Amino acid sequence: MADTGGTYKKISALVDDWIAIHAGESFTLDLICRQLNINERENRKQTAVKLNHEVKQGILEKNNPPHTPPVYTSVSKDIKYIDWVNVKDTLPLDFKFPYGIEDNSEFGFSDKVVISPGDVIVVAGVSNMGKTTMVLNMLWENMDCYPCVLMGNEYTPGKFARRVARMTWKEPTNGNGLPKFELIDRRERWWDAIKPGHINFIDWINLEDNFYQIGMIIDKCQQKVGDGVLVPVIQKSPTSTLGRGGGFSKDLASLYLTLDFNRLTIEKAKEWHTENPNNKMYGFTIVDGGSKFHNIREIVKCKACWGKGMVHGSECGTCQGTGYCDKEYR
């Protein structure tokens, strides 16, 4: 390999240092040259030679997407072994879920699912169909037992204060008048604001495109949460079963809840006690300015219209066009 004046050795050392700092990241030749101020054509060639050498050594992986420059990714050599023999038993958390404050109605999965330290509870819902009500009620039920942080991208001091003023069944401040939880304005890089050991509510993760990135975002946040719990909220289309990102949003979830019009569905419950709650559905109404759940009950797909809400072109009389009936009614 020809090299004049030790140029290759100098570039090689710069690249080695850069890769060490950016371990685990993906990059192109243009990116690394730009960040290392390598502008001359010959020096860029030497950089490409160095990168290809690292690929042959197994330090980097090289991907060649169609119609775009090659992408390099550093290969992690770290292996984390799990000692499952000597570990002390880790008890599930006493995580509490919302219920009907005024009528004591309950989501039937509350005492069935198992939430453990480090778990992810995804709340995916159609716009303005109760996602924030669900998250704030989760916060209210757990803030006296666990340290909590709520990240929001639509909260303002006045709007938030007005909303929680209706949630009078618990006091959100301590004896010194300080809040029992932290409220953070966050709109990107949510993982940087995750508090380890806390219940971290993110209301909500806004992705305008590249929805597949939701899996990466949840993964980075979960890595930071430690023995806490992650509760990310994402938007869902009325015609989709899952939230934006589809299966990428579901992969890491221990519990995955979807909210449609007056309906909650358990799309995934990874661990449960004695009864499998997967695919169960619950009807509800939201009252008092969006602060409370009411009339929670298990529902099933209507057998008369099979969930379509219509029979022979007319509204189904059995379910009044909703497509669902109370389980007891069926």
What totals of helices (H) and strands (E) does the chain contain, helices first? 7, 15
Instruction: Give whichever of 21-30, 68-77, 145-154 has the largest mean pLDDT.
Output: 145-154
pLDDT tens per residue across span 96-137:
999 999 999 999 998 899 999 999 999 999 998 999 999 999
Rounded to the nearest 10 degrees, what angle do helices 7-21 and 41-56 cross at? 60
What pLDDT does 77 receive? Answer: 75
pLDDT tens per residue across span 270-291:
999 989 999 999 999 999 999 9
DSSP state for residue 316 in the 8-state scheme: -
Q: Which residue has the tokens 């499998």?
A: 276
Question: By the 8 A CB rule, do 214 and 249 touch?
Answer: yes
- Give the DSSP H/E element, type plus range, for residue 217: helix 214-225
Domain architecture of the chain: domains with CATH = 7-74 (1.10.10.10), 121-296 (3.40.50.300)
Tokens of 313: 């072109």
Question: By the 8 A CB rule, do 290 and 132 touch?
Answer: yes
Gap between the Cα atoms of 241 and 80, Å rounded? 35
Answer whether residue 171 shows pLDDT above 60: yes
| Parallel, antiparallel or unpaired: strands 229-235 and 199-203 | parallel
To the nearest 10°, the Cα dihedral for 41, 42, 45, 51?
-110
